[in-house]
Chain A
């Protein structure tokens, strides 16, 4: 589809435009109710579907399109790999969204969007009309981002950046490493899903190896000068896994990498290394349905921060990792927060319910070793230009073990909280 970009609601007009949205819009549907279709059942989409269904008291028809029957959260999947969580504990069904909130859950792939006709086509052949469409597809990988790697190689060199079978595969490979073997990670460039994620994963891999294979080595090839919670991770790696982890930043060629899945080799700045496990996390882009819809600019879909509406099409809202919104990191917490703003805006547009000012929050917890949790977070507001950071905090180096344990326990509470906020 050719991109025909109509940037709407730019600049100073946005405030006024938000206000007019609170008047119900004309809509056409078969049963007289306005229809919302949500594509993607993760932290953004499941939350948006649930909030719209819950708060509209049956006045809005909500359909959620999600291919998987059982959703594995990416957050806490690193903890599963290290044995802190059972796989089942990060799996969630959509049953309650259907039975308690009346969401029509369709397990299928969305393969086409006709923005003029306002319809979504599914791989199974069905067509879903919508008055508002919410896209929360998460991420896909940029083709050719890591030389030698593509998705056909993901069994030999897993990304494990979409949780589920990939997480199981990577865990199995780590556990099967030969004594004194090498685990390598190719870390992604910014921006990417879950900024502390690769480094929490390194911590969890080190945790397993320290117990089962203490002479093993870990290499990270990283194209970034700095990464999220860098001082906290580096302090923790020194404290828990001294000498095991070798982080190779761009100054030492960490950004000049190729892999060969057949020979299980990783080449950093021309120097080839034989590795036993290679976790390739390529550069990312918005889930492909955003490209199909023709609402992307570069790799991501720009949105109006007040409502999360696409800058290209006001009938489409984009949530979470896929959106280009400003200062928020690409995280499940952020997607969940954005979903509530979008849900309010959608209800307001379709039923005339109250529209309150958008507020956003994010907190990311990471685990460095057993009971050694850290966190970073911030609050945000919507400006016409972007979602802008207001205030923030981060765990400090040198914190005592009681505080770190409490931070970890807090993350467990948060997991229970956000997953019940997503799935009911």
Chain B
């Protein structure tokens, strides 16, 4: 293919926007993580690894990482299992599957802000929500969002409710690429439903399954919206994750240097996962 100069001009808008908004500020963040900048003062002092030393000595920082890990484990199990089950059920329902897909995707296409307010007020509100009503009829399950040990699970439940339908649609799209004659052949050979899924359907979605696994790990370390909206990281940092922790440093405590250091950590986990992701998708292209 001819590499004429006009092609550089064509790719420029996308690349320049990305460089100006993401790459340059990203590099600035890396530099800022070694300073004590507060966002306002023109005095910026390099303090070496000071921010990182303070972070490592901070219990909330470790709590946040631990919560991110918990979040990752929750998302790698519950929505994955649910989406696998549903996509396996839907792959043979040729007539009704688009209706079910639309239903399962509705929570996914609604804004996190709307979903969070909806659960906060109609489900979790101890006065006017379903939780409050259950208590009046004698079924007291406490107040999940203000409970130190349960709040993270309550928030994750809302995010999983919003997310899993998307995963099932991706899985289903991959399963549909299975050649139907292979499925028929397995049936004729007397395979039961589980065997057909395990040995015929699943191999054809394996690459998608692996890629989504990596994507879930990456996005679990970026978790922010639902936690910020439902608990703001509380009560007493029990739902704090790196995303909310960095945000609070930057805009409430005005410690931009420290916020940058946390941001750098978030990227670090994502970077490891995305290297794996790139490797995996390269292998897929060759295969």
Q: Do A and B interact with each other, yes or no?
A: no
